[in-house]
Amino acid sequence: MQHQFILRTHHVITLVLCVSASDDFDWTKNEKTSFYYGTFPTGFSWGVGSSAYQTEGAWNIDGKGASIWDSFAHRKGKIFLNDTGDSSCEGYYKFKDDVTLMKDMKLNHYRFSISWPRILPSGLKSEHINEKGIKYYDDLINLLLDNKITPVVTLYHWDLPQILQEKYGGWQNVSMVNYFNDFANLCFERFGNRVRNWITFNNPWSIAVEGYETGEHAPGLKLKGTGAYRAAHHIIKAHAKVWHTYDTQWRSKQKGLVGISLTADWGEPVDVSNQRDIEAAERYIQFYMGWFATPIFSGDYPQVMKDYVGRKSGQQGLGASRLPVFSPQEKSYIRGTCDFLGLGHFTTRYVTQKNYPSGVGDSYFADRDLAELVDPQWPDPGSEWLYSVPWGFRRLLNFVKSQYGNPMIYVTENGVSEKMLCTDLCDDWRMQYFKDYINEMLKAIKDGVNIKGYTAWSLLDNFEWDEGYSERFGLFYVDFRNKNKPRYPKASVQYYKRIISSNGFPNQREVESWKRKAVETCSSSNQLLAAAARKSQGGQEHAGMQRAWPVHDEV
Ligand code: NOJ
């Protein structure tokens, strides 16, 4: 299993696929078929995901430098309840236990990220390499491999070294391209003999829009109408550079893959018989996923982005488009820099045309000329934005197939949250979400989409960015009130285990029994959690408590 991610394809074939032409996507055909019983192709890779800032804690330990998220979260009023990731799940100390949880689930891969400032505290490779940080990731990688779990490593899950933000303006500055490349190169040098699956950036849309346009995320800049485009431009260049570095310096020795993880909601036209709605839905997707995927697969921004941002910039009286331009050399350098496409997907929107007159709050959002709607019938168990719409997943996957020449896809994130106050470990809504979304992914494979693996988001409840700890995405509940941060399995752990061990959904009788069986185990976990809560309310602090975690079947 160690090289499961990697053995799937031949690199040359992938490159050919990456630059092949796109087909037309049929917007009018939205099949919502009944549940499909069947299994995934042999060797399909099942995993869970996490990221450094969201889970590691140890924010200033063993020589780690500060990241933009450390600084942002330490500023009052930025994060819900002023929470921080200072200790989070204490993953830095508890990774051995976490690997045990993963082993018990019989996972094929684990997706985690490397904190850039943990190994390069000043951001720069030329200044100082923090060997203690390297050792942490070495130990984690070795343990995963000992347990036959393939490491899938993200190089940038949003935690830029703070000093690079202060000195250069972070992703607003093109110098990040070389600094990031140096960091990536160091990771290939130190870990690449064991790590074969690399993701350059996680969800660059969020980095650009929430970090530099709306300011809801670190570094919190509100550069409306320009900040996101500039950040994205540099991120795309940085991705391409790292891919080339791997390709020329490491690939022949290390034989790995380098991809990017794009997050995209699906956009469905409100009225499929209305051409303007279809065009608005397509714009929604092109401004979201296409913004990054089209340069990487075809060399340049989607035509519709160039048209809309260019026209709006003209109306504002600007001499040039707010959307930066790639030179012909850059286009050919960027085109085809994907060995696989990582896809994060959570939800869907209905989309319709809506004009935003120029001059009224020019922004990335206004540039798109559209409105997003939701169906109030869609289940919405946790995060405000996250409605469960499984059929949107199949639509998105088919869109990727037709737009980008059927690339190899790894689903790098998919999951659902519940609210902070929900302490019910019998998470029926999550089991339903996984069941339905994974089933739509199976249908997409039957449609011919080239999906090789799936990563549930996430292993543990963790720091959900500006929402702090108020939204729980974990398969395992983490008791954040307890300094030991004990993990408790939710029922969905058992459910996901069944999907993994059956490699899909074998038959109706069996699948229907899964929820019942999963719920049998979660009621005892609920009792344990309630007892722990009573104890802590009774003033007994848990700090230093050495009780073994109530994990998996023994609870
Ligand atoms: C995508 C992000 O990559 C991840 O960090 C986050 O927790 C999930 N979305 C859920 O919001």
What distance in Å separates the CA atoms of residue 123 and residue 67, rounded to the nearest whole number?
A: 9
Atom of ligand 1 nearest to the CA of 54: 5
348 lines ligand 1 (CB under 6 A): no
> How far, in Å, from the CA of 319 to the mean position of ligand 1?
37
For residues 301 and 235, is the Cβ–Cβ distance under 8 A?
no
The pLDDT-based confidence of 143 (bands split at 50, 70, 90) is very high
> How far, in Å, from the CA of 222 to the mean position of ligand 1?
21
What distance in Å separates the CA atoms of residue 440 and residue 460, rounded to the nearest whole number?
A: 24
> How far, in Å, from the CA of 461 to the mean position of ligand 1?
11
Residue 515 covered by a domain: no
Residue 225 covered by a domain: yes
What distance in Å separates the CA atoms of residue 337 and residue 18, rounded to the nearest whole number?
A: 8
> How far, in Å, from the CA of 272 to the mean position of ligand 1?
30
Asked whether residue 278 carries a pLDDT value surpassing 80, the answer given is: yes
φ and ψ of 491, to 5 deg: -60, -30
Give the amino acid at 3.
Answer: H
Write out the H or E segment, with its range, that includes residue 491.
helix 491-502
Residue 336 covered by a domain: yes
Atom of ligand 1 nearest to the CA of 464: 7
> How far, in Å, from the CA of 466 to the mean position of ligand 1?
11
Q: What strand order describes the sheet that includes 370-373? A: 266-269, 348-353, 370-373
Atom of ligand 1 nearest to the CA of 415: 10
344 lines ligand 1 (CB under 6 A): yes
For the chain, give the mean pLDDT.
Answer: 92
> What pLDDT, in 10s, does the model give residues 214-239?
999 999 999 999 999 999 999 999 99
Q: Quick one: pLDDT at residue 22?
A: 65
Q: Residues 338, 208, 419, 379: what is their CA dihedral angle, to the nearest 10 degrees? A: -70
Q: Which of 1-10, 131-140, 193-202, 386-395 has the lowest mean pLDDT?
A: 1-10
Residue 188 covered by a domain: yes
Asked whether residue 18 carries a pLDDT value surpassing 50, the answer given is: no
Q: What is the pTM of this model?
A: 0.93
- Which residue's CA is the nearest one to ligand 1's atom 2? 203
263 lines ligand 1 (CB under 6 A): yes
> How far, in Å, from the CA of 519 to the mean position of ligand 1?
27
DSSP 406-423: S--EEEEE----EETT--
Strand pairing partners for 269? 351
Q: What is the domain extent for residue 93?
A: 38-479
Residue 367 covered by a domain: yes
Residue 548 covered by a domain: no
Strand pairing partners for 386? none
What distance in Å separates the CA atoms of residue 362 and residue 515, rounded to the nearest whole number?
A: 48
> How far, in Å, from the CA of 459 to the mean position of ligand 1?
12
- Which residue's CA is the nearest one to ligand 1's atom 6? 464
- Exposure pattern of 306-325 as b/e (b: 16+ CB <10 Å)? eebbbebbeeeeeeebbbbe
Tell me 505's DSSP state. E
202 lines ligand 1 (CB under 6 A): yes
CATH of the domain at 403: 3.20.20.80
Q: Quick one: pLDDT at residue 533?
A: 82
464 lines ligand 1 (CB under 6 A): yes
| Extended strands (E) in 241-340 | 257-263, 266-269
- Exposure pattern of 156-171 as b/e (b: 16+ CB <10 Å)? bbbbbbbbbbeeebbb
- Residue 302 CB-density burial (10 A; 0-12 exposed, 13-18 middle, 19+ buried): buried
Atom of ligand 1 nearest to the CA of 263: 1
> What pLDDT, in 10s, does the model give residues 340-369?
999 999 999 999 999 998 777 789 999 999
Atom of ligand 1 nearest to the CA of 261: 3
- Among 265, 288, 464, 469, name the best residue to mutate to test ligand 1's pocket (greatest count of ligand atoms within 8 A of Cβ): 464
- Among 343, 418, 457, name the best residue to mutate to test ligand 1's pocket (greatest count of ligand atoms within 8 A of Cβ): 457
473 lines ligand 1 (CB under 6 A): yes
The three-point CA angle 146-434-149 to 5° equals 5
Residue 451 covered by a domain: yes
Residue 18 covered by a domain: no
> What pLDDT, in 10s, does the model give residues 227-277?
999 999 999 999 999 999 999 999 999 999 999 999 999 999 999 999 999
> What pLDDT, in 10s, does the model give residues 66-110?
999 999 999 999 999 999 999 999 999 999 999 999 999 999 999
Q: Quick one: pLDDT at residue 169?
A: 98
Asked whether residue 441 carries a pLDDT value surpassing 80, the answer given is: yes
> How far, in Å, from the CA of 7 to the mean position of ligand 1?
27
Q: In this prediction, what percent of the chain has a pLDDT beyond 90?
A: 86
> How far, in Å, from the CA of 135 to the mean position of ligand 1?
26
- Which residue's CA is the nearest one to ligand 1's atom 11? 464
What distance in Å separates the CA atoms of residue 267 and residue 396, rounded to the nearest whole number?
A: 8
Q: Quick one: pLDDT at residue 138?
A: 98
Q: Quick one: pLDDT at residue 326?
A: 98
The pLDDT-based confidence of 19 (bands split at 50, 70, 90) is very low
Number of domains in the chain: 1
203 lines ligand 1 (CB under 6 A): yes
Q: Quick one: pLDDT at residue 538?
A: 62
